[in-house]
Amino acid sequence: MKGKVFFIYFLVAVLAIGISGGFASTGIVKDDPERKITIPDERLIELKAKLAYNGEDVFWRFEWDAGEDSSIHQSYLVYRDGKWQKHKTNNQDENRFMEDRFAMMLDDGSVEFFEQYGGFITATSDMNNMLNPANPEETKELLGKDYVRKFLPETRYDKNDWRTVKSKEDLDKLVDAGYFLDLWHWKAHRSNPIGYVDDNWVREDRKNDEGKAGSSNWDEELEQPKYMFDPNKTNQYAMEWDKVINRHYTTEDYYYLAEDIMVEYDPQHEWKEGDVLPELIVSPIEGGRADIFAQGVLLDGKWHLDMQRAMDTGKPREDKIIRDQGKYTVAFAIHRNSSSRYHLTSFPFTIGFNRDAEIEATYFEGKLPPWDQIEWTTIKLFYPGQITWDHAMNPEAHAGGDYVQNKIPLKDFHTEDEFSYYGVESEFRSEILNQWLLTMGAVSLFVILFSFGVVRAAANVERSEEE
C-alpha cells in the first residue's frame, strides 16, 4: 500500500514535469493575420554605407540584399469580370507585392533622445498596424485622418498621448529651435524611376516637405483608369496579373506609369481579364520635396543606391543644414516587400564632417566622390516588432526604463542580435507572460508534490524501522 502511494506521487510529479515542459516549449510566436502580425523571414540584415562631401553637396552610397525583387507598389487597378477594380495588398497577404523602400532620419542634436535611441522615440503603441491602434473615429476628429503615425514626444503636452497635440504657436517655436527630424525616403516605385528621394520630416506627424509628387490614376466618377501605357513606347497597353504576382517584372521593365510613357485611357480597347494598370502616376517631384537626387539599381540580388543633397538647402524649417566640422546623428530603415511598421531598422549612428564619428564623411574636390577610395561602414538592421517609446520609457513595464530615462545609449546595453529577438517578443508580450505563469505553476506543482512524496516516503521508512 505504501509503495503504491509513493508510486502515485511519483507519477503525478512526472506529469507535472511533462506539463512544465509542454508549457515551456509550446510555440506561440507565429504569424497572426487577424492581429496584423507578420514576422519577417530574415530579422537581421546588413546595410553597407559610404559618406562623402565636397563643401557644397553631401553624397551617400548604400548597398543591401534585396531579398526578392519588389519594385512594384502595392496599389494597382485590375480588370476583372468586365470592370476595373482597385487592388491593394498588405503584409498579411500570401501573394503580397510591395515596393522596396529605404529611409534615413537625420538630426543635428536638437531632438532629445534621438542620439541615444534613434527612430524608437517616434513610435507609440497607438500607431497604425499596432496591436492596439487608436480609434479611427477619434483620430479623424483630432488629427483629420483615421490613424496615428510617427511623432516626436515634445510635440504633445502629454509626451505619450497622441491626442494632446500642441498649439500651432508652440509647434512653430519648436521648429524654430530645430526640433524636427529630417527624413530622406527613397521608394523603388514612386521615386526611383524619376531619380529622386522624397524629402520628408517628422515632428507632430510624418509629413512631406513643401511641394508635389505623384498623382492618382483612378477616375472616381467613371470608375476606370485615367491613363494606360503608351503601346508605341512600352509595347504594352497594360501589365499582366500573373506576371505581377509571380514577380516577372523587374526594374528593367515598365512597371510604373509616368508622363512620358502613358496616354489617355481607351475604354474601347479590348481589355482582358487580369490586365493591370498602376493606380499611381509617377510624376516629377517639385518644390522642397525634390531636394535629394537618387538612383537605385537592383543588381545580383542587391540594391545599390546613391543619394545626393545640398549641404545647405536654404530651408532650415524642413531640412537639417549640414556644415563642415558638423556632427550629426542618423538612423536607417529598410522595407523589403513590406509596408508600415514591418521594416528593418538600425540603432542611431553619429556622422562627422571633419569630426570624429562612427561614420566619417570623406572630403573630396570635384563633382563625384572617389567611391573606390572610400571604405564601407557595415551597419546591422533588425526587426523592431512593436517596441515603442511609451513602453521603453516606463520602468514598471520595461526593466530598462530607468536606463532610458537617464539617456544611457541603446548600444551600451543591447546588441542588434538581441533586438532581432526582442522585436518578435514584443508582438507576444501577453502570451509570453501567460506561458511563463503556466510554466512556473507547473514547476511549483512538481516541487510541492515531489517534496511531499519524499517526506511521506521517508516517514514510511522510519515507521518500518521502528516496527
In this predicted model, which residue has the larger pLDDT, 373 or 455? 373
Angle at 131 (CA atoms; ends 127, 132), nearest 5 degrees: 65
Mean pLDDT of 17-21: 54
pLDDT over 60 at 124, yes or no: yes
pTM here? 0.87
pLDDT over 90 at 466, yes or no: no
Nearest to 180 by CA among 153, 147, 156, 202: 202
CA trace torsion 330, 206, 114, 142 (10° rounding) = 180
Nearest to 37 by CA among 465, 454, 423: 423
pLDDT over 50 at 25, yes or no: no
Give tens-digit pLDDT for 334-352.
998 888 888 999 999 999 9
Percent of the chain with pLDDT over 90: 65
Give tens-digit pLDDT for 388-438.
999 999 998 888 899 999 999 999 989 999 988 888 888 887 777 677 666
Query: Which segments within 55-214 are labelled E, that is strand?
Result: 57-65, 75-80, 83-88, 101-107, 181-187, 196-202, 206-208
Per-residue pLDDT, 97: 81
List CB contacts of 32: < 8 A, sequence separation 6 or more: none
29, three cell numbers: 510566436
| Mean per-residue pLDDT over the chain, rounded | 88
For 401, list phi and psi in degrees, rounded to 5: -60, -40
Mean pLDDT of 192-211: 93
Q: Categorize the per-residue pLDDT at 129 as very low, low, confident or very high, splitting at 50, 70 and 90.
A: confident
pLDDT over 90 at 31, yes or no: no
Per-residue pLDDT, 425: 85
Give tens-digit pLDDT for 236-253.
999 999 998 888 888 889
In this predicted model, which residue has the larger pLDDT, 111 or 251? 111
pLDDT over 80 at 13, yes or no: no
Whose grid coordinates read 513643401?
210
C-alpha to C-alpha distance for 434 and 426, rounded to whole angstroms: 14
